A and B are shown apart, each in its own frame.
Chain A
Amino acid sequence: MKSIEIKDLSLSFGDLKVLEQLNLDIFDGEFLVLLGASGCGKSTLLNCIAGLLDISEGQIFIKGNNVTWKEPKDRDIGMVFQSYALYPQMSVYGNLSFGLKNAGVPKAQIAERVARAAAILQIEPLLKRKPSELSGGQRQRVAIGRALVREVDVFLFDEPLSNLDAKLRAELRVEIKRLHQRLNNTMIYVTHDQIEALTLADRIAIMLGGSVQQLDTPHAIYNHPVNKYVAGFIGSPGMNFMKGALSGGDNPHFTIDGLNVDLSRYAFGEQGVQPTNSAWLGIRPEHVHVGKEADGLAFTHEVEVEVVEPMGADTLVWSQLANQEFRFRVGGQKTVTPGEKLIVGFDPISASVFDGHSELRL
């Protein structure tokens, strides 16, 4: 069943179009992540769903109700903000109960709901404290609690972990995932952090310039990006892109500056192979094999190591392939020195080919 439906949503501030004709269906109990760079409209979209921004055109349905012009409080949503947005002069208990008091919930029931949320988030000892006496992680827990006590169907998260340090972020990320598995309600989560997106999401919507580029599972987005933007955005370090020409027929080849890559194992899209002089071949650094592991792959070549970046678990190596930048990963235990010559290879099945003009996946 659909939890949220967004139909032809547009939003503009004067002449500036922030969202354009956006359609999005989110299913019951789904964890959807809106991912994109700054200014792509992801937070704006979330604010529209929450009712904090008036939209210009379109409709928003939550649980089958048209809530397009409804106040945020009447939309059955709870929201968690990046800056926590806790009311500084109220205690944690006051923060958690504020919404319920406004809704006229009886006192006994408020106490019960707050106690339940506090137990889930393990913030019971903090209930009497003021937000200023809490650490960042505790504050964000309280902020999540404030959404929790509302007992709503839809949770909206606006970059909730961005203000935390790396370690705490990883901890709370898992906690949010646990919370979702436990409550099983619909969650929409805005972030610019692809790790958060990949780890948390049932589906990811990658946004650019106010429209959704790709909406799919993390696996599909990582392995079959629909265009060059998505391919480059997801994955760190980013995908290698090499410009070249594509030849068609039964035995398609990609030619980079005289170098041939056999693409007969590559799964082309429905439109088949159209020969073109301008195309991109993308291969992720982690899909490149080195040395003996490269034996027998459809494409192998010798490259010279230029720069080595050890990252602990693995090492990123920068080199040139057919005069274009080429990065690949080797195991962290392996010693690689600049100037060394290595045999690298990859299986075209894990590559992506994009049209040179439209930048769409072929």
Chain B
Amino acid sequence: MSIEPIGRRPRRVFNPTRIMIYCVLGVAAIYYLLPLYIMVMTSLKGMPEIRLGNIFSPPVEVTFEPWVKAWDTACTGLYCEGLKVGFWNSVKILIPSVVISIAIASVNGYALSFWRFRGAEVFFTILIFGSFIPYQVMLYPLVIITRELGIFGSITGIIMIHTIFGMPILTLLFRNYFASLPQELFKAARVDGAGFWGIFLKIMVPMSPPIFVVAIILQVTGIWNDFLFGVIFAGTKNFPMTVQLNNIVNSTQGVKEYNVNMAATILTGAVPLAIYFLSGKYFVRGIAAGAVKG
């Protein structure tokens, strides 16, 4: 016979602390979900229904017309081809920027944590210091630089800008991650005759999928949400989705089509939102990793 404790294990589901926590969480959830609710509802209504003014009420007649219009025919400035142009522009900017910036930053981080060269600390400090300078300060010099390089107002230009501005945070991320890997592994690989690239590609990269995922999340959301660099460096033809969204929403001509604006906003936000949902754990890790020690 086994020895049992006295009575059943007490269940403490509804103690005061729990109730407090759930109340606060509930209020917070409503606070953040309410605008989303209004956006979705409004985007599914026709203009006559919106003019009635009951923003909280669900649509009487559900229509997907605003979504189609936002994607396909909404006017973004001079052209009336909808957001799809901006979407593909954003993709064209996003993919090379993410790949190039992560490729460079991972090598940076690897070199800074394993191949300590003279002045590595100074180099790293300067790089990190760069991330504290407001972007706005650097805009005009960068415009001149890209103009002189002949890449102002092109996809190449905006990719270069995103790559450069991704460097400090990504390098910090990779350096901290690689610094947490055992030094002895690096030494063993050197004794085994692997060189700079051999150790990086055969030993370090296969050990680092988590941090690459974190970096991808950071860069995809960051670059997708960017407005400032896009509007300045991409050029009119290559405006990313965020800029075109702004052009739709802030257009001063004609009627304000709230349903189209709402649909367009949700469409633009869908990509980072999907990333957040799909990558939950890694995203939190990314925020934490960026925050810890220099």
Residues of A within 8 A of B (CB): 47, 50-52, 71-73, 77-79, 81-83, 85-89, 98-99, 102-103, 143, 146, 158
Contact = CB atoms under 8 A, between A and B. Distances in A.
Given A50-B187, A52-B187, A81-B187, A98 B182 contact: no
Interface in B236-280: none
Interface of B is mostly: helix
Most chain-A Cβ atoms within 10 A of its Cβ — which of B190, B191, B203, B206?
Answer: B191
Contacts of A103: 193
Q: Which 4 A-B residue pairings sit nearest by Cβ, starting from the closest? A: A73-B193, A99-B192, A102-B193, A85-B188
B194 to A, nearest CB: 5
Interface string B171-189: 0000000000010110111
A146 B190 contact: no
Contact of B185 (A71, A87, A99, A102): A87
B190 A52 contact: yes
A50 B184 contact: no
B207 A89 contact: yes
10 contacts: A77-B191, A79-B188, A82-B184, A85-B182, A88-B207, A89-B206, A98-B194, A98-B202, A99-B193, A143-B188
B198 interface: yes
Contacts of A88: 207
A87 B191 contact: no
A162 to B, nearest CB: 12
Contact of B191 (A78, A82, A86, A89): A78
Interface residues of B, number: 16
Contacts of B193: 71-73, 99, 102-103
Contacts of B184: 81-83, 85, 158
Contacts of A158: 184
Given A85-B182, A87-B203, A89-B206, A98 B192 contact: yes
Contacts of A50: 187, 191
A274 B66 CA distance: 106
A106 B82 CA distance: 61
Interface in B207-233: 207
Given A85-B185, A87-B202, A158-B184, 15 more contacts: A52-B187, A72-B193, A81-B188, A85-B184, A85-B187, A85-B188, A86-B188, A89-B207, A98-B189, A99-B191, A99-B192, A102-B192, A102-B193, A103-B193, A146-B192
A102 B187 contact: no
